[in-house]
Amino acid sequence: MEATYWQDLWVSGQTGFHEGQVNRMLNKYYHLLDLKVGERVLIPLCGKSMDITHFLSHGQHVVGVELYEGAVVALFESLKVSPRIHQQGAFRVYQAPNLTIFVGDFFAVSAQLLGRIDAVYDRAALVALPEPMRTDYTKHLVSLTKAAKQLLICFEYEQGLMSGPPFAVSPEMVERYYGAHYHIELQERTVLEGGLKEVSHAFESVWLLSS
């Protein structure tokens, strides 16, 4: 899956993956991350997610990585904040109080560039990637964050019924990707009312990953 695929979706407005409000599962399970004021949360493939506002409202510093710069511009416009913008290596960096977004390829991000990460919130990254990119992504994420605690939201459905994204991520896949580094706890598995795109029967699952 090339970078141009996602850029074309943003440009054409095919952004059904973007929620215009804070995700209900984040509202429900945020407390499990046990975050303190000033701690740093990584949101990979963050887009212009309103979930960012949830962490900001609790005093955390959000670090995002996003491929499409237009989404980052829209994010800051929605926040009514004028960012400071500078170039850092291969990345354009947008900054405001408690918010840093790196525009570029997630796989090119280094731990040194990101700085300390206290937790990870993944609602739209893992499910956006096909195999083998998911394997590469999870390895890179664990390395970047030193296996920081993670709240992970996935979809489950019969992959043969839809090509994705979002892609199906089963419990066995979560274990395969993260089992060597985390204690994995399923918090909720619920039927998605109305299904998912052309799939009528799908589930949403919420996982807490802790070391």
Residues at the binding site are 10, 45, 66, 123
Token pair recorded at residue 163: 């090509």
* Contact in structure between 155 and 129 (CB atoms under 8 Å): no
Using CA atoms, how far residue 178 sits from 6, 80, 128, 175, in Å, is: 25, 37, 17, 5
3-state secondary structure of 95: strand
Position of tokens 């799908």? 202
What is the pairing mode between strands 91-96 and 84-88? Answer: antiparallel
- Which positions make up the binding site for S-adenosyl-L-methionine? 10, 45, 66, 123
Start-to-end Cα distance in the chain: 31
